[in-house]
Structure 1
């Protein structure tokens, strides 16, 4: 396996002085002894990222089984490329993943397969071209500025920054992909989103045991009210836009909603499923990563100072927010390091259709193949001080030393996140706008408890005290 980043981690920009010891980011402690059947069932149901033992962070592969099905954990970047790129047609979505996500997203882009997935991806792709994304940067900056002004009025108070970033990314999503046509009170929406994705995305013991779908998953029943709220909201949004298109086919905004309604072959239900997918995946993941970034910077004052200095020095010289991503490398680096430590999609699991071989790794047909960014991003064979917050890993020069397949915040291969560039642009703009005038300091008594739902998130939020710079 590649050790390229061990060298990269020791590189420091010439103008950067020696710094304090980097912050060790909180995470569940890997267990040293096997959990056993019932221990595994209990732990995986409570918090799936707690199932991993020390071997998972040290070895290129781990081969085991669950209920008679081979389970293979793959941490080697070269093997990841083979599985998800070179031989991707041999690997389909793993059934457990689908049992958890399909009740939420149904036939959305994240859970669709085969011809439906190809048709949907083709329909959505035009909205995420570089030209379109550049056009989104002004509303991204305007909505970030609106959030900055609102939070400035709360200086001295403590807020849950994960809730605040959810409000912001929803506001940006409304402005860019739906042209403000989703009518909802933002605070109620943010809380419903958290309830919806948190409860509906939980692993239930019946999922782990492969029980039939008709048996109720009690852990997810609490999310049904919020799911009904989402479905009703989206149905109203679709009908409103359809009426607009009927009146004036050329007058509707060329956003995601219009593209879906005009796409060939997508049913009314499939359109609804994809809108919900983008509300969930399109803003929840970025919101969580932004919140973790503010937390990590609050625990690393020297890193925060360098980001603030970069923003203060560079932003006033820029003509347009579309320039932020390239002009603010350190701001981008802290966000990328945040996604390494707390990957927005912690698992990319597949099932092998046919037997496969990669070097000395044998993969029988029907095997579950577990490709876990949570493990790969903290793997001792790939990263120096893998549990520490070291944004220099992603600074120009150092970033190039990374193996393409050891850093997977947006997945990789044919099913790589279609909105990856959108999310990076959005995050850097939001950080630049908020941090230019505000500072956020962690105000919790203890370190946050890290849990896996659909995303990696703080179990009880991230209380942060706001101050003006």
Structure 2
């Protein structure tokens, strides 16, 4: 392990745990503003908490054994929580993140071959090419220009997604794609007061009206993309790329996926699939900018591996410092900060010490990567940015259900390997040529929308090395 990385004392910005329970009105205000500010000291120090929100029994699960019980061992007893579905289904409908039952199983089975580790490695060269093309905007900007890195990383990961899964075939319009994504998630990917009250779905959510236009724009983009590829397949199948889009369209039919399910899944990957990686990349560059020792170790590693001529498919394994910094950023700023489930039937969990958690039918179980990853029972100095936790020799000591950036169980993120490889390649290409430094205006604050986003953006100075 590189001893220099143990010296990091940087504590990235995050809400201070509450010491006094919030009132009912404060809960509503905080959930609407930023749910990350809701959690009190017990959420970061107790293995689990049983509480009630708006008449609903809720268990906040931080104990790794309890998490495994809910997400893996007895996963069939837990469905997606009602509030989560009220937020996400209007956007994604029957996409992979929100579908349940036979629809989810059918979609997951259909997409699994594209995201196997072996297949994902086949995208490495395209990831490098798109990252290098992205650098052209920095070349043209001149030296020391300040850019919003949160926006840049959204556009970079979109370019990679478009090229790898859709062979560049997404029929898009001129415009600010990153801003459209932010508008969609800001207005649509958040809890509305009526969701907390579990009001019927047909009652309009006023907080989401602003996002309906952007959502229609995205769905129209998806339909045009599908129609264009269908036409190509029907006209000359040999000319159609053998990519994710073609795979889905060829599964269309009575024994496969419906046209609507294909549309929903494409939208899921375009609108949300790249968003998680984009946020984690931006947070990584921000944290590394505060830790010169970490940055120097990454740069030495990047320079050595790239100079050796190693194929980018090897970079994930040959750049442990780059990967460790990305994984540590995902610990502090998990792209998906909460995993919500509702119990279908009565259940119970018995901890190794004999304590029993009774889980009644209808109970909501919150598995919170945000609190779990900062929990004092499972991490040393949990609020510090310390990539050495994830270097070889230390990474192996982290429990499987202690660190959940991609979830766990049957619904574990299908693109986890894809995302890790993409992130390491993108960081290596960016950091080989440039350094990213904070400015007096760089004052991000983590806010939970669909992902953990930096309120106010991430303005950073980009300077050639």
Structure 2 length normalisation: TM-score? 0.96
1:344-394 per-position Cα deviation (integer Å, ceiling 9, x unaligned): 111111000111111111111110000010010000100001011000000
Structure 1, unaligned runs of 5 or more = 1-12
**Superposition deviation, residue 278 in structure 1:** 0.5
- Displacement of 1:16 in angstroms is 3.0
2:358 is the alignment partner of 1:371: no
- Which of 162-171 and 124-133 deviates more? 124-133
Residue 187 of structure 1 and its aligned partner are, at CA, apart by: 5.3
Query: Do the aligned partners of 2:92 and 2:98 also contact (CA within 8 Å) in 1?
Result: yes
Q: Does residue 1:178 correspond to 2:166, yes or no? A: yes
CA offset at residue 221 of structure 1? 1.1
- The 8 Å contact of residues 152 and 438 in structure 1, kept in 2 or not, is answered as no
Question: Where does residue 209 of structure 1 map in the other structure?
Answer: 197
Deviations 1:169-218 (A, max 9, x none): 01001100011111225752221111112211011111111111122211
Query: 1:10 aligns to what?
Result: none
CA separation of 1:221 and 1:177: change in aligned 2, threshold 3 A: same
Structure 2 counterpart of 1:169, from 131, 143, 157: 157
Provide the C-alpha distance between the structure 2 equivalents of 1:236 and 1:333, rounded to a whole number of angstroms.
40
Partner of 1:463: 459
Q: Offset of 1:254 from its aligned partner?
A: 1.5
Tell me how far apart the structure 2 counterparts of residues 106 and 449 of structure 1 sit (CA, whole Å).
30
Out of 334-343 and 440-449, give the one that drifted further: 440-449
Aligned residue number for residue 441 of structure 1: 437
Residue of structure 2 in register with 1:350 after alignment: 341
| 1:91 matches 2:82 | no
For residues 69 and 391 of structure 1, what CA distance do their matches in structure 2 show?
A: 38
1:23 maps to which of 4, 7, 10: 10
Aligned to 1:129: 116
Which of these residues, 276, 279, 289, is aligned with residue 285 of structure 1? Answer: 276
Give the root-mean-square deviation of aligned CA atoms.
1.3
Measured in 1, the distance between the counterparts of 2:396 and 2:363 equals: 34
1:408: which partner in 2? Answer: 404
Shift of 1:148: 1.8
Secondary structure at the counterpart of residue 440 of structure 1: strand
1:6-63 per-position Cα deviation (integer Å, ceiling 9, x unaligned):
xxxxxxx2x5348644200111122111111111011111111111011100000100
Q: How does 1:289-308 map to 2 (within 5 A)?
A: 289-308=280-299
* Distance change in 2, residues 1:18/1:182 (3 Å): closer
Q: Quick one: distance in 2 between partners of 1:25 and 1:76?
A: 24
2:319 to 328, 348, 373: 328
Q: How far did residue 417 of structure 1 move?
A: 0.4
Per-residue CA deviations over 1:409-442 (Å, capped at 9, x if unaligned) read 0000000000000000000000000000101111
**Aligned partner of 1:420 among 416, 432, 440:** 416
Using the alignment, how far apart are the partners of 2:442 and 2:313 within structure 1?
Answer: 38
Aligned pair count?
456
SS in 2 for 1:153: helix
SS of 1:73's partner is strand
User: Please, which moves more after superposition, 223-232 or 439-448?
Assistant: 439-448
Determine if contact 1:98/1:111 at 8 Å carries over to the other structure: yes
CA contact 2:442–2:458 (8 Å) conserved in 1: no
1:444–1:462 CA contact under 8 A, matched in 2:
no
Equivalent pair of 1:314/1:327 in contact (CA under 8 Å): yes
1:7 matched to which residue of 2?
none
CA gap of 1:153–1:128, structure 2 versus 1, over 3 A, is same
In structure 2, list runs of 5 or more residues that go unmatched.
Answer: 351-355
Match of 1:106 in 2: 93
